[in-house]
Amino acid sequence: MSINNIIIYLMIFFMLVGAVDRLLGNRFGYGKKFEEGIMAIGTLSLAMLGIISLSPLIASALKPVITPLYKLIGADPAMFAGTILANDMGGYSLSMELALSQEAGFFGGLFLAATMGATLSFTIPVAMGIINKEDEKYLSKGIMAGLSTIPLGCFFGGLIAGFSFKMLILNLIPTIIFTFFICVALLKYPKAVSKSFSLFSKVMFIAITIGLALQIVETLTGKVLVQGMIPALEAVKIICKIGMTLAGAFPMVYFITKVFKHPLVKLGKLFGINENSTAGIIACLAHNIPMYNILKDMDERGKIINIAFSVSGAFVLGSHLGFTAGVDTALVFPVIAAKLIGGVSAMFVANFIYNKDFKNSKKLN
What gap in Å lies between CA 153 and CA 340, rounded to an integer?
7
pLDDT of the chain, 365 residues: tens digit per residue = 688 889 899 999 999 999 999 999 999 999 999 999 899 888 888 878 888 888 888 888 888 999 999 999 899 999 999 998 889 888 898 999 999 999 999 999 999 999 999 998 888 878 877 888 888 888 888 999 999 999 999 999 999 999 999 999 999 999 999 999 988 888 788 778 778 877 877 887 888 899 999 999 998 998 888 888 888 888 888 888 888 988 998 898 889 878 877 787 777 888 888 888 988 998 888 888 889 988 998 999 999 999 999 999 999 988 899 889 988 999 999 999 999 999 999 999 999 988 887 655 555 44
What gap in Å lies between CA 52 and CA 354, rounded to an integer?
40
What gap in Å lies between CA 249 and CA 253, rounded to an integer?
6
The letter for the amino acid at 219 is: T
CA geometry: angle 113, 55, 5, nearest 5 deg: 50
**What pLDDT score was predicted for residue 358?**
62
Between the alpha carbon of residue 215 and those of residues 49, 207, 235, 243, the distances in Å are 8, 12, 10, 20
Give the residue from 48, 3, 24 showing the smallest Cα distance to 238: 48
Cα 308 off chain centre by: 13
**What pLDDT score was predicted for residue 29?**
95
What gap in Å lies between CA 173 and CA 292, rounded to an integer?
31
Query: Domain residue spans in the chain?
Result: 3-357
What gap in Å lies between CA 123 and CA 60, rounded to an integer?
27
* DSSP code per residue over 129-182: HHS-GGGHHHHHHHHHHHHHTHHHHHHHHHHHHT--HHHHHHHHHHHHHHHHHH
The letter for the amino acid at 301 is: R
**What pLDDT score was predicted for residue 363?**
52
Question: Contact at 8 Å (CB) between 209 and 50?
Answer: yes
Sign of CA dihedral 132, 85, 193, 356: positive
Q: List for the chain the helix, strand, coil content (%; round to 5).
A: 85, 0, 15
Alpha helical stretches, state H, 260-314: 261-270, 275-284, 289-293, 300-313
**What pLDDT score was predicted for residue 233?**
85
Between the alpha carbon of residue 159 and those of residues 153, 156, 164, 168, the distances in Å are 10, 5, 7, 8
